[in-house]
Amino acid sequence: MKNSGKYENNLNVIGPLLREKRKEKKLSFEQLSNKLLLLGINIPVTCLHRIENNQRTVRDYELCAISIALDIDIQDLLAPFINNLKNSEKI
């Protein structure tokens, strides 16, 4: 199996859920980017867009900051991925 740095052809596992949570909080890309910047994490608007579209990886510290900026638990962002792994039972 070739490891291309992707999971199911995506560069991250939080993209669609990030979009959903950002919209639930009624935050624009710019507002979320500004909140992240206040936490000391620079993720420009274009990068947030790419994350939501699974075209950019997410670093661990970015994941932490995103969860804080959105006021949600990291587990909530990762839950669909974790459940998918648990249900695969390939181990």
For residue 1, tell me if it sits in a domain: no
For residue 55, the domain's CATH number is 1.10.260.40
Number of domains in the chain: 1
Q: Residue 75 falls within a domain, yes or no?
A: yes
The reported pLDDT for the residue numbered 4 is: 66
Domain of 34 in residue numbering reads as 15-86
Instruction: State residue 91's pLDDT score.
Output: 60
Phi-psi region for residue 41, left (φ > 0), alpha (ψ -120 to 50) or beta?
beta
Looking at the DSSP assignment, which residues form a beta bridge with residue 48? Answer: none
In a domain, 2, yes or no: no
The pLDDT value given to residue 8: 84
Per-residue pLDDT of the chain (91 residues; tens, 9 = 90+): 455 678 888 999 999 999 999 999 999 999 999 999 999 999 999 999 999 999 999 999 999 999 999 999 999 999 989 998 888 866 6
pTM > 0.85: yes
